[in-house]
Amino acid sequence: MTNKTLINRVVEFAVGLLFGLGLMLSGMTDPGKVIGFLDLFGSWDPSLALVMGGAILVGVFAFTVAKKRTATFLGGVLRFPTSMDIDKKLVIGSLIFGAGWGLAGFCPGPALVSMADGQPKALIFVVAMLVGMLGFELMDRFVHAPRKAKLKAA
């Protein structure tokens, strides 16, 4: 392992840790709080708007800097998402995700952190989520990809 690779691994670990701490401090790991935010017509807890607001405030600054650069601070590749498509896959996928999010109050990051914190329901959620991700992978490989190939051939 080169020095640069090692630094990358250490930073990735530290970023994961910092992100997990942020999730816990912000209240995102409390499904009651998430659902309290999504409950516009009940007793509304606006905390999560501040979580998003705080994160985006820093994020906008960081991405403005990143977009002007051609390499990372370590001289590595800057990998920006390339897809610009606003299609059915994006909207329907997001609607499905949002439904699941509202149902239990967990999204992927907080669920992983809560699982590590010893919450049994978070463990159940993570196992189901991994099954869902694997299901998507299998669908993509054996249903979507062959269909797309067929369309291209025709």
Partner 1 sequence: MNLDWTHFTPLTSLTGGILLGIASAIFILVNGRILGISGILGGLFPPKLGDTAWRLAFLLGLLAAPKVFHAVIPTEFITSPRIEAHDWMVVVAGLLVGIGTRYASGCTSGHGVCGLSRLSPRSLVATASFMSAGFAIVYLLRHALPA
Residues 124-153 that bind partner 1 (CB under 8 A): 124-137, 140
Instruction: Answer for the pair 112, 119: CB distance below 8 angstroms, yes or no.
Output: no
**Taking CB under 8 A as the rule, does residue 2 contact partner 1?**
no
Candidate residues 2, 3, 20, 145; the one interacting with partner 1 per rule CB under 8 A: 20
**Taking CB under 8 A as the rule, does residue 14 contact partner 1?**
yes
Instruction: Answer for the pair 107, 101: CB distance below 8 angstroms, yes or no.
Output: yes
Q: Which is nearer to partner 1, 41 or 153 (CB)?
A: 41
Name residues whose C-beta falls within 8 Å of residue 70's C-beta, 6 or more positions apart in sequence.
78
Closest separation between CB of residue 147 and partner 1, Å? 15
Interface with partner 1 in residues 52-71 (CB under 8 A): 52-63, 65-67, 69, 71
Q: Which is nearer to partner 1, 80 or 152 (CB)?
A: 80
Place of tokens 């992100």: 19
- Cα dihedral 38, 42, 47, 49 sign: positive
Interface with partner 1 in residues 86-105 (CB under 8 A): 86, 89-105
129 CB-contact burial (10 Å; exposed 0-12 / middle 13-18 / buried 19+): middle
Q: Which is nearer to partner 1, 108 or 146 (CB)?
A: 108
